Structure 1
């Protein structure tokens, strides 16, 4: 599966207009497939086309690969060049820091995080929220400083304020979600759960393959383009729910009640995902390359 995903991403890189991002993402799948030669080739190609404006940084990823594969001198030369030229890609600074942490060079990792934070969070008085430029660097920097036993500084205090504010906003969103009972909730069985459903209750989805289940859910969701949530079902949870309410397990109405209750408790994902977000089905692929791919549904 990892090889299939990597090859698909490399093919997509030729036409997507996001060559650097696709190649870096492909390298991750080559890594999981233990195809480290192909991983390096993908990263070298990504570094070559990296203009510093992609979501992922080919140069930082390649330099990190060199550092962590016994080629420290080459890796540090690549890191030094990247540092000298700078990057508009926030991820570059976090990836460089991760590479140095992997080889135990924690102070060098902290230097990269410090520079990245100063670049993307120039105003200590600013309100920084989850998803804003610099937030992840602030978080990674605070984690590393804590592990190094360093006292909190102004940037750490900014992160604390930002996290508290984000928590307040998230709580408000959760409360709104609990109040919006009319929002449709769609029950999706992840692949492992679907296999268990087919084994224990073959009459629920007779003869249906999981890919067809995904297609059905995708078609159903497109009927609610901005007002649905997705509940990832767990068979044992459904059984426990039915028993607690003394409801018939095989009744579709019981499944609907279980789905609505899970959504009410916030155990659901919003629909629709952004094209570059992880797909709702749990494959860890981008939505646009998985269930949101043209023609899939």
Structure 2
């Protein structure tokens, strides 16, 4: 039987989902792990297991997580045609409120997916008013409320609405973040001790990039990506390899005030990860596991003769 790339990707999604669910038992971040696992079940087409993970996330959520289990479960219900159940849960969230910014972002995304932009905007307005108490608040990129402002501004622009005070606040934050980013980049250009690193995307993350952000690596397969990384590693005198995460890169770019799609954002993300000790030194020993995470020996994988 011939295994297609879709079959291979599905198996990877299942493996990631199962690993996250196993990790949820001991990680101390059960809600976050279960919501992320549900995403992989979704990509694998396993919607019953997706629902099971989200239902569990909603039950264990203590409103002290990065992701929000009840909102993620309500979103699942809404986009699967179970509107009455979804809106009952969203109504409860609206009554009780949440200290999690992503509760309101998730609710907004859910209504955008069912073509209800005005309801989506209402959720963003509720969230912004909760997390951004005034237009004079001292807010930095990455602070709670900044993503709500960004999502709200994008949706208002799509709806053809004129800028208001919150949109102007976001513009000021973006300009400030860009200025800080320029200062940081200038400092780094003069820092001769900055450690070099190459960014590598594992198969599941790369597949998601090609679906959602194809302009980042146009027309590139994952095998070609691995070869490009291996070439780049060989060209550097003291390189390291950083395993990429879309969410981490987006958060990093937002904190620096630069678009995540810019190549400089990916380079700075990798350099920062290496500076913080979150990179794998290269080269590995020939009998060590390969840097790409395949569990094969380096000499039989990316280090094999003729691989690049």
TM-score by length of structure 2 reads 0.67
Of residues 144, 150, 153 in structure 1, which corresponds to 2:164? Answer: 153
For residue 171 of structure 1, what is the aligned residue in structure 2? Answer: 182
SS of 2:193 mapped into structure 1: coil
For 1:234 and 1:267, the matched residues in 2 are separated by 16
Aligned to 1:16: 27
Q: Which residue of 2 aligns with 1:99?
A: 110
Shift of 1:264: 10
What is the CA–CA distance in structure 2 between the aligned matches of 1:91 and 1:274, rounded to whole Å?
A: 29
Does the 8 Å CA contact 1:178/1:265 hold for their aligned counterparts? no
1:125 aligns with 2:125: no
C-alpha distance after superposition, 1:64-114 (max 9, x if no partner): 000100111111111001111111110100000000110011111111100
Match of 2:77 in 1: 66
Considering only aligned residues, what root-mean-square deviation do their CA atoms show, in Å? 3.4
Give ranges in structure 1 of 5+ residues lacking alignment: 200-231, 239-249, 282-289, 292-297
Structure 2 counterpart of 1:256: 237
Counterpart of 1:267?
267
Contact (CA 8 Å) 1:127, 1:162: kept in 2 or not?
no
User: Secondary structure of 2:237's partner?
Assistant: helix
Summarize the Cα distance change of 1:274–1:70 in structure 2 as closer, same or farther, 3 Å threshold: farther
Task: Provide closer, same or farther for how the CA distance between residues 196 and 134 of structure 1 changes in structure 2, counting only shifts above 3 A.
Answer: closer
* Deviation at residue 280 of structure 1 after TM alignment: 6.3
- Could you tell me whether the CA contact under 8 Å between 1:178 and 1:266 is conserved in 2? no
- If you compute each CA radius of gyration, which structure gives the higher value, 1 or 2? 1
**Residue in structure 2 matched with residue 49 of structure 1 by the alignment:** 60
Indicate conservation of the 8 Å contact 1:66/1:72, yes or no: yes
Q: Which runs of 5+ in 2 are unaligned?
A: 1-11, 203-219, 241-262, 281-290, 293-308
Higher relative contact order (CA 8 A, sep 6+): 2
1:154/1:188 Cα in 2 relative to 1: closer, same or farther (>3 Å)? closer
Please tell me whether the aligned partners of residues 20 and 57 of structure 1 are also in contact (alpha carbons under 8 angstroms).
yes
